[in-house]
């Protein structure tokens, strides 16, 4: 059933929901953006429905709700440790289709890979229900359609914002009672069916081809361009890597905690072991790793889908204006040439044709 | 709540053996069933956690041979017998010991690479009837970096051993890299055999190439990879190479697979 709900009434419903749920949505943080006088839009717990930024793309993904940038695993005292706890409340997240599909990738890593479940992820994940937010026409850097992640039916509620009113589809019986007094309408959410940005995913079908891809000169162009800051990983809904870090709270050094902190495969020390031995030493090698992880080897391992959902946040966040969609398309072109036995780009050529967003 | 895979447990240190100035072997109490080649995530609360391979095992204990190279290992070196060390595991796959039985085995190890193969060597030392022959090449940088001196002596009595130092000349040791001595292995006299290579990445690479040059088929070679790990259970991403997680599908790989792993 779908309903036509005023913002005022929706705020009352929100208050009802918040008795049992923490409700997260993309929120505006004024003057907190990366550049002077720009705003930051990131996920946070909302106080009113007007807090929800529905007409802009958020800078960060909703993964932080369930997989925080930094998270306590245990607290240590001198002779014992205690597992960290989470709030009893359930969680509702206003999320776009690509992000809801992105959570499925995180589920695969944290709950399935290796046949074990990560309880820190699971204990929050099983509390989550989604409120699908329509994307309207989408944004310039989105390429969700190419990645097949523009649609989802994994939501409890779906919303379309219209000035002072909100169209709501209620799919989950748990929420039906909240809307019984509202005006019924015909509404089902619409999904983006075409993006201005499109990518072609290269078909890598042999070890021989993979080895040639590793040797492509196009990766070397990122040695000078990419500054290995890891911003692309931080905003990615599907990036799941982490470090563990022990910290001591007190001067006597007897109390502390083990934390999990999000990590970036673009950072120089991502593979560096104690003693200094590391792998993937250049930015180009790390760019190659990230690219292939997102559009080749995750699917090679788990079969169903590529890791990248085409949200395009990495494009927007990169301080060096490296476009991931362009990188994928460059790789596609190079792979096509390899398959046809044509010469691939030299470093000089790639430098002169570096992508401009 | 399901079992917490990130939860470490305290284990008592039974004994500490100084192997070299920078490498100690810690014997730790545990009931864990461990296979040759597996590793534990070892930690000290408030310091950190790292993967450490098992260098020996027995009833209710394992030995971990640790090099002093970082914050955690520096702290581990301050521990005394009776102190507690935190561990979770064992993790990873193992050397296919049962497949090695009744055949010839060649083990080529360099530096601390001797540590992950030591329990396997000790098993066949104690069960010599289970193996047709065992050739063991161990290479160390110099005299002061020689590990497991007592074991090396023992192995000499039952295995065909070549011990070598990169440059130093001392009694009982050849001179040169392990790769220079691989041609001495009589591969052509073996009917069915396996080769285990463990050491620094460059050493493993060239030792494998040298074996191939000496006619060893790829599928007879086994290597063990060392990678950074923060979880050991396929979540943290550090050890991933292509679609393979070293903590899950490794650290032991057949060379047919290992040669395809592109960092």
Q: In this predicted structure, what is the pLDDT of residue A251?
A: 83
Whether residue A223 lies inside any domain: the answer is yes
Structure-block tokens of residue A76: 């240590």
* CB spacing of B235 vs A73 below 8 angstroms: no
To the nearest whole number, what is the mean pLDDT of chain A? 94
A171 lies in the same domain as A273: no
Mean pLDDT of A147-163: 96
In chain A, the residue whose alpha carbon lies closest to the alpha carbon of B228 is A273
Whether residue A306 lies inside any domain: the answer is yes
Whether residue A32 lies inside any domain: the answer is yes
A152 lies in the same domain as A232: no
Mean pLDDT of A286-298: 97
* CB spacing of A300 vs B242 below 8 angstroms: yes
Kindly report, residue by residue over A197-214, the tens digit of the pLDDT: 999 999 999 999 999 999
Report the domain count for chain A. 2
Of B1, B3, B46, which is closest to A256 when you measure between CB atoms? B46
* CB spacing of A244 vs B50 below 8 angstroms: no
A304 lies in the same domain as A336: yes
Q: In this predicted structure, what is the pLDDT of residue A341?
A: 87
Q: In this predicted structure, what is the pLDDT of residue A7?
A: 96
The parent domain of residue A305 ranges over 207-240+265-340
* CB spacing of B230 vs A243 below 8 angstroms: yes
Whether residue A192 lies inside any domain: the answer is no
Whether residue A111 lies inside any domain: the answer is yes
Of A122, A241, A278, which is closest to B237 when you measure between CB atoms? A241
Is pLDDT above 90 for A77?
no
Mean pLDDT of B191-198: 97
Using a CB-CB cut-off of 8 Å, the residues of chain B touching A297 are 242-243
In chain A, the residue whose alpha carbon lies closest to the alpha carbon of B91 is A114
* CB spacing of A113 vs B235 below 8 angstroms: yes
Is pLDDT above 70 for A338?
yes
Whether residue A48 lies inside any domain: the answer is yes
CA dist A43 and B40 (Å) reads: 37
Q: With pLDDT > 90 as the criterion, what percentage of chain B qualifies?
A: 96
Kindly report, residue by residue over B48-75, the tens digit of the pLDDT: 999 999 999 999 999 999 999 988 999 9
Using a CB-CB cut-off of 8 Å, the residues of chain A touching B247 are 114
Q: In this predicted structure, what is the pLDDT of residue A347?
A: 59
Angle of CA points B98, B100, B106, to nearest 5°: 150
Q: In this predicted structure, what is the pLDDT of residue A348?
A: 56
Please name which of B92, B30, B84, B97 lies closest in space to residue B57, comparing C-alpha atoms. Answer: B30
Structure-model confidence comparison of residues A40 and A78, the more confident one: A40
CA dist A153 and A188 (Å) reads: 11
A119 lies in the same domain as A226: no
Q: What is the pTM of this model?
A: 0.95
- The alpha helices in chain B, defined as continuous H runs, are 71-76, 97-100, 114-126, 149-158, 201-213, 246-249, 255-258
* CB spacing of B46 vs A123 below 8 angstroms: no
CA dist B36 and B27 (Å) reads: 16
Mean pLDDT of B31-36: 96
* Choice among A12-21, A70-79, A133-142, A201-210 with the minimum mean pLDDT: A70-79
Of A210, A273, A300, which is closest to B226 when you measure between CB atoms? A273
* CB spacing of B263 vs A274 below 8 angstroms: no
To the nearest whole number, what is the mean pLDDT of chain B? 95
How many angstroms separate the CA of residue A226 from the nearest CA in chain B?
Answer: 19
| Residue pairs between chains A and B whose CB atoms are closer than 8 Å | 124
Whether B239 has a binding-site annotation, put simply, is yes
A16 lies in the same domain as A159: yes
Whether residue A137 lies inside any domain: the answer is yes
Whether B247 has a binding-site annotation, put simply, is yes
Q: In this predicted structure, what is the pLDDT of residue A351?
A: 53
Is pLDDT above 60 for A353?
no
Q: In this predicted structure, what is the pLDDT of residue A350?
A: 57
Q: In this predicted structure, what is the pLDDT of residue A357?
A: 42
Mean pLDDT of A255-272: 96
Domains of chain B: 9-91 (2.40.30.10), 97-259 (3.40.50.80)
Q: With pLDDT > 90 as the criterion, what percentage of chain A qualifies?
A: 89
Q: With pLDDT > 70 as the criterion, what percentage of chain A qualifies?
A: 96
Is pLDDT above 80 for B23?
yes
A235 lies in the same domain as A149: no
Is pLDDT above 80 for B222?
yes
Kindly report, residue by residue over B197-218, the tens digit of the pLDDT: 999 999 999 999 999 999 999 9
Q: How far is CA B25 from CA A43, B13, B56, B62, B228, in A?
A: 48, 10, 9, 10, 21
Q: Please give the radius of gyration of chain B, using alpha carbons only, rounded to the nearest integer.
A: 18
How many angstroms separate the CA of residue B45 from the nearest CA in chain A?
Answer: 6
Whether residue A77 lies inside any domain: the answer is no
């Amino acid at each position: 059933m779908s309903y036509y709900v005023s913002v005022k009434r929706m705020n009352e419903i929100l208050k009802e929901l918040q008795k049992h749920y923490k409700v997260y949505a993309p929120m505006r943080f004024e003057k907190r953006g990366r550049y002077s006088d720009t705003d930051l839009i990131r996920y946070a717990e909302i106080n009113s429905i007007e807090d929800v930024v529905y007409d802009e793309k958020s800078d960060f993904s909703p993964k932080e709700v369930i997989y925080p940038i930094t998270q306590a695993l245990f607290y240590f005292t001198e002779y014992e440790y205690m597992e960290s706890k989470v709030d009893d409340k359930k969680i509702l997240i206003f999320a776009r289709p690509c992000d809801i599909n992105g959570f499925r990738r995180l589920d695969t890593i944290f709950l399935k890979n290796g046949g074990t479940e990560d309880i820190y992820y699971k204990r929050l994940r099983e509390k989550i229900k989604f409120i699908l937010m329509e994307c309207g026409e989408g944004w310039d850097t989105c390429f969700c359609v190419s990645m097949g992640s523009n649609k989802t039916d994994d939501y409890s509620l779906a919303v379309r914002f219209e000035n002072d009113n909100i169209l709501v589809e209620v799919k989950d019986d748990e929420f039906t009672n909240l809307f019984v007094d509202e005006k019924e309408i015909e509404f089902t959410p619409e999904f983006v069916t075409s993006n201005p940005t499109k990518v072609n995913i290269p078909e890598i079908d042999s070890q021989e081809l993979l080895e040639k891809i590793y040797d492509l000169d196009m990766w070397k162009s990122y040695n000078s361009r990419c500054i290995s800051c890891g911003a692309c990983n931080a905003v990615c809904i599907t990036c799941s890597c982490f470090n563990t870090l022990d910290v001591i709270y007190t001067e006597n050094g007897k109390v502390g905690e083990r934390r999990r902190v999000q990590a970036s495969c673009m950072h120089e020390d991502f593979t560096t072991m104690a003693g200094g031995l590391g792998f993937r030493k250049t930015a180009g090698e790390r760019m190659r790793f990230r690219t292939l992880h997102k559009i080749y080897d995750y699917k090679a391992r788990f079969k169903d889908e590529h890791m990248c959902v085409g949200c395009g946040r990495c494009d927007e966040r990169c301080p060096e204006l490296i476009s991931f969609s362009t990188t994928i398309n460059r790789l596609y072109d190079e792979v096509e040439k390899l398959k046809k036995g044509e010469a691939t780009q030299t470093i000089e050529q790639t430098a002169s044709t570096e992508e401009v967003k | 709540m399901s079992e917490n895979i990130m939860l470490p447990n305290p284990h008592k240190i039974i004994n500490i053996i100084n192997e070299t100035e920078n490498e100690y072997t810690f014997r730790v109490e545990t009931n864990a069933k461990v296979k040759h080649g597996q590793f534990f995530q070892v930690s000290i609360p408030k310091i950190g956690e790292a993967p450490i391979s098992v260098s020996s095992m027995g009833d209710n204990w394992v030995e971990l041979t640790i090099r002093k190279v970082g914050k955690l290992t520096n702290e581990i070196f301050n521990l005394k017998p009776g102190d507690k060390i935190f561990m979770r595991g064992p993790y990873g796959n193992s050397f296919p010991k049962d497949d090695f039985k009744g055949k010839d085995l060649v083990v080529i190890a360099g530096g601390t690479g001797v540590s992950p193969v030591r329990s396997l060597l000790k098993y066949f030392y104690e069960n010599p009837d289970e193996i047709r022959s065992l050739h063991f090449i161990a290479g160390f940088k110099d005299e002061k970096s020689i590990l497991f001196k007592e074991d090396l002596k023992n192995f000499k009595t039952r295995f065909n051993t070549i011990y070598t130092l990169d440059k130093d000349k001392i009694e009982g040791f050849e001179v040169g890299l392990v790769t220079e001595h691989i041609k001495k292995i009589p591969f052509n006299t073996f009917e069915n055999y396996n080769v285990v290579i463990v050491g620094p990445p460059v050493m493993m690479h060239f030792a494998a190439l040298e074996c191939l040059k000496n006619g060893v088929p790829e599928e007879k070679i086994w290597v063990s990879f060392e990678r950074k790990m923060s979880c050991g259970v396929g979540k943290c991403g550090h050890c991933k190479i292509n679609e393979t997680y070293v903590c899950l599908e490794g650290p032991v790989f057949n060379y047919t697979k290992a040669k395809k792993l592109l960092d």
